[in-house]
Every structure is written in C-alpha cells, then in structure tokens.
Amino acid sequence: MTLKKLGVGAMLDAVYAEGPAAEETARAQARVRRALRAEAARAPEPLWYARVGRTPIGPIYVAVSARGLASVRFEMSEAAFLDLVRRQTGQAPRYSPARAGAAARQVAEYVAGKRAGFDVPVDLSHVSAFQRQVLLAASQIPRGQVRTYAELAREIGRPRAARAVGQALSHNPVPIVVPCHRVLAADGALRGYLGSSGVETKARLLRLEGARA
C-alpha cells in the first residue's frame, strides 16, 4: 500500500517505522560526539592534595591531577596553599591522602635525604609554553650539578633571556621535583627561591645533593 492511500496517522507510523536515513543517523551521531568532546574539554580535571607535617623544611603540601604532580609548596599555611592552587589552576583541590599522599611522601623523603630521585609524573599543563621549556630544561640538570640562569637560557636557545629564565623558575609550580634550586646567579649566589627561608632551603638542598660544601 502506498502512503497516498493511508491516513495521516498511518502515514506517520509508516515513516517512523522506516527510521531515519543512514546518512542522517551518522550526522546526528557525529554531532553528539563533537558535543561530548567539547563538554569534556570544558570540564576541569579534578585535583587532590595531601600534607606531610614533619620534614626538615616544615610542612609540605602537594596537589596532583590525573596527569601528575601539579603543585608543591612549603613554608605556607594550608589555606594559602589552597588559594595558590586555585589561582594556578582555576579550581580547588580536594583533600585525598589516598591520591596525593604518595607524591607528598616522596617529596618529604627527598628533603630528609632518604630518596635520591622521583618517580611521579609532573603536570605542567597550567604554565606557559616558555615556562614549560625552562622547567623541562631545569629538570635535566643532574643531581649534584648546578647551572646559571644564563647557561640555562643558552641551553633553550634564548641566550639573552637569562632574566626571563629566572622569572620562569621563580614561579615553578613543582619545586624540588623540578629542581630550580640547581640554578644559580652568574656569581654563584643563591637567589630566587621560595619562602622566607628560601636561600637557606636552597643551600640545604644543594648540600644534600653534594653540589655545595
């Protein structure tokens, strides 16, 4: 029976029974997939944090994402740390020793001289391309060795950017793990480290690694 011989209701039933054309279905599925990808891109990745209270440099806080270690801080309060992470990443981490505790313990063991390196991935997704280049170069400085800001600038192909390199390192989101303490001023001075005891902490880390007497 042709559609012309059917009533309106029967005609609609016949159309629905036939279903949409394959091309229309494919286009609709593609639109749904694009919408899901866009939504996933907008959704912030979760962050978790943990605290280690007793270390030679005081309490240490770390935050981790699904990609890796996103923040390390010491010589600050928990509230200040959470505010800093919010400003760095745009979101608030949730307290979870189960997720972030292992990274926190590794940092604490390192400053206590019980660990020589790290086996946690680092998440640098919240820094600029230039800062990422500087931090990755700093991460390649071997334990027990140091570089100057000018030397690091030359290593990344920016020989006139020593000052910018220093600025990038001063905003290192994961100090100790990315060892910006191994980068010194041209005269060997210990400058540009974190906290009120920054120079002392930098010297402590370098002595721990055998880089300074």
Residue 19 domain flag: yes
- Whether 120 is covered by a domain: the verdict is no
Catalytic hit among 69, 70, 100, 180: 180
Average pLDDT value for the chain: 87
Please state whether the predicted TM-score (pTM) of the whole model is above 0.85: no
**Whether residues 100 and 156 fall in one domain:** no
Domains in the chain, number? 3
Query: Do 148 and 182 share a domain, yes or no?
Result: yes
Q: Which of residues 61, 78, 111 is at a domain's end?
A: 111
Per-residue confidence (pLDDT) for residue 127, from 0 to 100: 96
pLDDT(189) > 90 = no
14 and 54 inside one domain: no
Is residue 165 included in any domain, yes or no? Answer: yes
Whether 182 and 158 map to the same domain: the answer is yes
Please give the full DSSP string across 160-211, using - where no structure is assigned: T-HHHHHHHHHT-SSBTTB-GGGEE-TTS---S-SSTTHHHHHHHHHHHTTS
Same domain, 134 and 189: yes
Amino acid at residue number 10: A
Give yes or no for residue 3 having a pLDDT over 50: no
User: Distance (Å, rounded) from C-alpha 175 to C-alpha 4?
Assistant: 76
Q: Which of 197, 202, 195, 172 is nearest to 80 (CA)?
A: 195
The question of whether 174 is a catalytic residue gets the answer no
